[in-house]
Amino acid sequence: MKKIKCETCLTEFEPTEKQVVEIEKSANAGIERFIIDCPKCHSIVFVFPLMLLGKSTVAPKEIEDDRLFCCPVSACIGFVEENKDAKVFGCSECGTEWRTLDKVHQSIEQIIEKYPHRKKVYQKNGEQWKSISLDEIPKGYYSKVNNEKV
């Protein structure tokens, strides 16, 4: 498998055995994009499973960034996005769906209560939660989330 380059710290690294298995599963399912974390700076790294395994030579088209929040599910490093067609909020990493934004906010409250380090990626504005800028997610955040119990 090809080395992966972190765009944040510019480190090139070999994926772990666990990451290789996840990348292979994604490629076999036809998934074009997958998220792993950098072993050095713990930033998220977007990879293209089909290209990494030589099943495609064409990078997927750029997609619009619709990320609203870091996913408030234990051990998930994905993001909550709104699917306007389906009228649902969901995380493509863990598959969790919420019917309303209020339900997402409830999940944020619960994950912060269970894991206080999660509060660093959310800001409360009245009764509503907002995300910090996704470019400002603290170093080590994804590593901590990966170590949470499911």
Please return the burial class of 23, using the count of CB atoms within 10 Å of its CB with bins 0-12, 13-18 and 19+. Answer: buried
pLDDT surpassing 80 at residue 61: no
Instruction: Give the whole-angstrom CA distance, residue 34 versus residue 31.
Output: 7
Sign of CA dihedral 113, 127, 94, 35: negative
Please return the burial class of 140, using the count of CB atoms within 10 Å of its CB with bins 0-12, 13-18 and 19+. Answer: middle
pLDDT surpassing 80 at residue 59: no
Would you mind telling me the total number of residues written for the chain in this entry?
Answer: 150
Instruction: Give the whole-angstrom CA distance, residue 31 versus residue 29.
Output: 6
Q: Are 122 and 130 in contact (CB under 8 A)?
A: yes
Mean pLDDT across the stretch 129-149? 90
pLDDT in tens, 85-133: 888 999 988 999 999 999 999 999 999 999 999 999 999 988 889 999 8
Between the alpha carbon of residue 96 and those of residues 18, 46, 76, 81, 82, the distances in Å are 22, 20, 10, 11, 12
Show me where the domains of the chain are located: 4-52, 67-146
Could you give the 3-state DSSP secondary structure of residue 118?
helix
pLDDT surpassing 80 at residue 16: yes
42 pLDDT band, cuts 50/70/90, is confident
64 pLDDT band, cuts 50/70/90, is low
